[in-house]
Structure 1
Amino acid sequence: MHRFSLEDLPDAMAEFARALECCERPEAPYALLKAMNRVVPFQIAMSVVYRRDANPIYVCDTFQEGQAKRALQRYIASTYVLNPVYNAYLGGLKSGIFRITELMPDAYFDSGVYKNLEIHMHDDEELGYRTPGWPAGMEELIVAIETPEGALAEFSLSRLARNGGYSEACIEDMRRMEPLIGAIFRRYWAHARRGHIEEKGASLNQLFGEFGKETLSPREREVAQLILKGHSSESISGNLAISIATVKTHRQNLYAKLGVSTQQELFSAFLHSMHKRQAAEQPSR
């Protein structure tokens, strides 16, 4: 693919200028995508804003097919909870340009939650799975943008891996533009976020946080959440700054308290609690 050069700079700056000029209008995210495409070409893109207390907010996408659009809706409704970007945000991810594989936990592919959240395992996919309907065989470059209220915007830029994916040089080109991209988006978001209606009901993240609340100690709940999200004992040890032996003790204790004996049974217990909570929130007829 074409590599960004100084000769491309005037056209790219013109696109960024147009994005800045319309930053108070709904078309601003699309204008920003057009500008980014001048720097690092991609085939498809989508953008959401992650929040700690609710499902992501949809910003924009360039998907053409109805199936892909439905996959994005499914992602926002449920499978986002597995996404490395979302979980990195919960862990304190800051603004930056990242390959999505840089953000994955070490035991990501072993998480049994995959089997229950309407996703399909694919060995040829970058993350090892794909939400049904999501375009196949893509490599993702992530543009992460912090917002003043503590949310995190994600622009996911995808292109076919078989065409070479993203080189280090491409990523460096985008990093040079990162401050400008972030400034334009934050100005857009300052106006756009006012029009979003807060969703009612508990988010999946809240359901994760409340799982085992009446049974487990706070530390055991932290360990359980990390197990569910695909972290190994070694990764949990590093995240919580405790020894691996302590992690294993917590795992044994929480299994005993929840009446489970395997990781898959833990996933089933979580799903049961999630469905029970969601059913309780349904309005009575």
Structure 2
Amino acid sequence: MLRDAMQAVGTPAFFDVYQALFRARVAFGTFLMMRFDPGQPPSLLDHWIEPGRLRPTALAEYLESTYAFDPFFQYRDRVEGGGVFRLSEVAPDRFFSSEYYLQYYRGSGLCDEVGLLAPVARGGVAHLSMSRRDAQGPFRRAELRYLRKYAPLLLELLTQHCNKISPAAQDGLVVARPPLADLIRNYAKHVLQFALTAREAQIAGLVLQGHSNGSAAKTLEIATETCKVHRRNLYRKLNISSQRDLFGLFKHLL
């Protein structure tokens, strides 16, 4: 099977053979291969979803907008040499209590995810995502040990294949979605009639992605107390009192 995967690199047969390589030792309900390129939304290279087990619009919603809330997408610039990561290892510290996770991720019937992230040509990152449904339960320790033991080989296969079939998109061919903070600030100004500062909009986006004050402050390289002040001002201007209220105002931007 490994020899088959090596021979199939760069061909249409690779996805099925690569999936079989995982399936021999790991159970999953979705198997998605995509690419993250700088300044662009994810490119879906191939996918398998267990029939009838995922909300029909979930994948289209992800590719159009909700990818901005995906911890693996947020983590793409920090992978260095690549690796195998469980969702809980890359997610912001409050992700699992965020409204996005509760309404969209859990709403799709998923309970756990493992992702491979591998640097590819021209600053891109290849991403292989495997998710588990509620009925399957979280990934087991033996499965994770297998993935990590063979990670160098699995990552090398993914890198070689994506470099051969998917050169980075050229400038101007794909319209990049504006950063979440810009979407929030523009909507607040033109629709809600509230003037948010650039920093308040950044913090709003990070809170929606599942960051606590401390985690948002670390991401923005500011003091935690400074972050708290900006968040209080943000909530005061919007006349809200919780992350749930914030999500209610901006969830249509997903």
Q: Please give the range of the TM-score, normalised by the shorter of the 2 chains.
A: 0.7 to 0.9
The normalised TM-score by structure 2 is 0.76
For residue 206 of structure 1, what is the aligned residue in structure 2?
A: 179
Over the matched positions of the two proteins, sequence identity in percent amounts to 24
Q: Does 1:231 align with 2:186?
A: no
Q: Does 1:60 align with 2:46?
A: yes
CA drift at 1:32: 1.4
Q: Does 1:247 align with 2:227?
A: yes
CA RMSD of aligned residues (A): 3.3
* Mean CA deviation greater in 174-183 or 232-241: 232-241
* Mean CA deviation greater in 246-255 or 175-184: 246-255
Q: Secondary structure at the match of 1:158?
A: strand
* Residues 143 and 237 of structure 1: CA distance in aligned 2, closer, same or farther (over 3 Å): same
Counterpart CA distance in 1 for 2:46 and 2:40 is 18
Counterpart CA distance in 2 for 1:41 and 1:65 is 15
1:130 partner letter: G
Q: Secondary structure at the match of 2:126?
A: strand
CA drift at 1:193: 1.4
1:96 partner letter: G
Query: Structure 2 unaligned runs (5+)?
Result: 190-194
Contact 2:31 2:49 in 1 (8 A): yes
The normalised TM-score by structure 1 is 0.69
* Mean CA deviation greater in 194-203 or 21-30: 194-203
Aligned match for 1:71, one of 58, 61, 83: 58
2:207 partner letter: I
Contact 1:45 1:156 in 2 (8 A): yes
CA drift at 1:58: 0.7
Q: Does 1:20 align with 2:10?
A: no
Q: Secondary structure at the match of 2:115?
A: strand
Q: Please say which structure displays the higher CA radius of gyration.
A: 1
For residue 10 of structure 1, what is the aligned residue in structure 2?
A: none
* Residues 265 and 199 of structure 1: CA distance in aligned 2, closer, same or farther (over 3 Å): farther
Q: Secondary structure at the match of 1:212?
A: helix
For residue 163 of structure 2, what is the aligned residue in structure 1?
A: 190
1:1-285 alignment runs, 5 A limit: 15-65=1-51, 68=54, 70-89=57-76, 92-94=78-80, 95-112=82-99, 119-120=103-104, 129-131=106-108, 136=109, 138-159=111-132, 165-194=138-167, 200-203=174-177, 206-209=179-182, 211-212=184-185, 216-255=196-235, 259-262=237-240, 263=243, 266-267=246-247, 270=250, 274=253
Counterpart CA distance in 1 for 2:244 and 2:58 is 25
* Residues 43 and 231 of structure 1: CA distance in aligned 2, closer, same or farther (over 3 Å): closer
Query: Structure 1 unaligned runs (5+)?
Result: 1-14, 121-126, 276-285
2:67 partner letter: Y
Contact 1:50 1:57 in 2 (8 A): yes
For residue 192 of structure 2, what is the aligned residue in structure 1?
A: none
* Residues 113 and 184 of structure 1: CA distance in aligned 2, closer, same or farther (over 3 Å): closer
Contact 2:126 2:159 in 1 (8 A): no
2:22 partner letter: M
Counterpart CA distance in 1 for 2:50 and 2:156 is 28
Contact 2:8 2:14 in 1 (8 A): yes
CA drift at 1:179: 1.4
CA drift at 1:27: 2.4
